[in-house]
Amino acid sequence: MLVFNPHNANYPEPINSFQREVFDFCEQWKLGKNEFLFHTSGSTGKPKPIYLSRLSMIESAKMTKHWLNLHEGDNVLLCLPVEYIAGAMMLVRALVLKLNLVIIEPSQNPLEGITNPVNIHLASFVTTQWSTILQSSRNLFSIFSEVKGILIGGSELTPSLELETRDIHLPIFQTYGMTETSSHIAFRPVSREANFYQCFPQVKIRINHESCLCINSPSTLNQWVETNDVAELVNDKQFRIVGRKDFIINSGGRKINPERIEKYCLAFFTLNSYLFKIFAWGLKDDFYGQKLVLFIESKEEIYFKLQLVDYLKSNLESWEVPKQIIVLPEFLYTKSGKIDRPNTLTLYLNNLKT
């Protein structure tokens, strides 16, 4: 744990590679670097390089400041890799808004790295980190008694994790954003059971011909950016995410949204107090073209397949019920904590060949 003011003239000697990366970014920023290279998370394929301007990141930091009423001297927790936008934007906020950084090397439970008393005013976690934190016995109020926002991103909260989070009386938000928007442009208060995202006042949204969300924001320098997220507009400032265009499965002439199937599977798990990671995918098939398959992460055999299929049959269309359920001992994950679906699938297929 290191409490660090990035505006200090002299930086301490880094004790690990993460601190070195943090200091390097801060020094580049203070030297006036105008463009920074990032990569997308890679959850839908190979990570793509994206260059972001200094101005777009400054505009993003300003939107977060106004949203959460951040003030100079507030403490922000940095526990995400800085080569991705979520971690880098914590640094930018500290640099632009004159905040203090509480630096913890990224891990599944970064709160274990907080060894001295400190009040965190802003924190950001990926979903897997948040899940691990809630499973620990750490008293959140001892760290977050003055917090203005606990932000959860990277992927949607599972139904069980959402229910558990609602019981915590802290300002906790599921955020929506992407590398191209320099982090979040909308939020969803978990405690209020809102099922839609609320855009920041300066953000504009619309839907394109493929029903994908398009965003215009100060953090995109007021240019329209098309996403691959299929969305429904509630109004001109609120939206729901339906799923990823990249994931759509074409099975027997039917277009299937795998995230809809995953949602009902996770609802079944919540009803039965099961905790499993899952994802649905379309495997090549001679008859269907693509065969809908459900993957479950478990090191042990599972005994509820028939009950799960019966539950799905009663809640979904017949063609939305997986044709096969495959249990894998371990999924692969991206550095940002998302299930790496393509590489997990490739590993599974390669193991079949051997």
The CATH number for 279's domain is 3.30.300.30
d(CA 350, CA 354): 7
Q: Same structural domain for residues 148 and 222?
A: yes
Q: Same structural domain for residues 39 and 176?
A: yes
Q: Same structural domain for residues 110 and 59?
A: yes
Q: Same structural domain for residues 259 and 194?
A: no
3-state secondary structure of 337: coil
Which residue, of 210, 244, 278, is where some domain finishes?
Answer: 244
Residue 46's Cβ-side half-sphere holds a number of Cα atoms within 13 Å equal to 2
The CATH number for 114's domain is 3.40.50.12780
**10 Å Cβ neighbour count for 256?**
23
Cβ neighbourhood burial of 146 (10 Å; 0-12, 13-18, 19+): exposed
Residue 353 has what pLDDT? 74
Range of the domain at 330: 248-353
pLDDT in tens, 195-251: 899 999 999 999 999 999 999 999 999 999 999 999 999 999 999 998 888 888 988
Q: Same structural domain for residues 61 and 205?
A: yes
Nearest CA to 182 among 86, 48, 79, 78?
86
Q: Same structural domain for residues 191 and 165?
A: yes
Confidence (pTM): 0.83
pLDDT in tens, 270-327: 999 898 999 999 998 888 889 999 999 999 989 999 999 999 999 999 999 999 999 9
Q: Same structural domain for residues 200 and 185?
A: yes
Res 45 pLDDT > 60: no
Which residue, of 215, 244, 273, is where some domain finishes?
Answer: 244
Please list, residue by residue across 53-79, b when 16 or more beta carbons sit within 10 angstroms of its beta carbon and e when fewer do: eeebbbbbbbbbbebbebeeebbbbbb
pLDDT in tens, 156-169: 888 888 889 998 99
pLDDT in tens, 29-38: 999 999 999 9
> Number of structural domains, the chain?
2
Q: Same structural domain for residues 210 and 300?
A: no
Which residue, of 244, 278, 297, is where some domain finishes?
Answer: 244
Q: Same structural domain for residues 189 and 300?
A: no
The mean per-residue pLDDT over the stretch 82-97 comes to 95
Phi, psi angle pair for 87, to nearest 5°: -75, -45
Res 333 pLDDT > 70: yes
Residue 174 has what pLDDT? 95
**How confident is residue 65, by pLDDT bands cut at 50, 70 and 90?**
very high
Q: Same structural domain for residues 129 and 164?
A: yes
Q: Same structural domain for residues 172 and 29?
A: yes
Q: Same structural domain for residues 9 and 88?
A: yes
What residues contact residue 258 under an 8 Å CB cut-off, 6+ apart? 243, 247, 248, 249, 279, 280, 281, 282, 292
pLDDT cut 90: percent of the chain above it:
71
Res 42 pLDDT > 90: no
Residue 352 has what pLDDT? 82
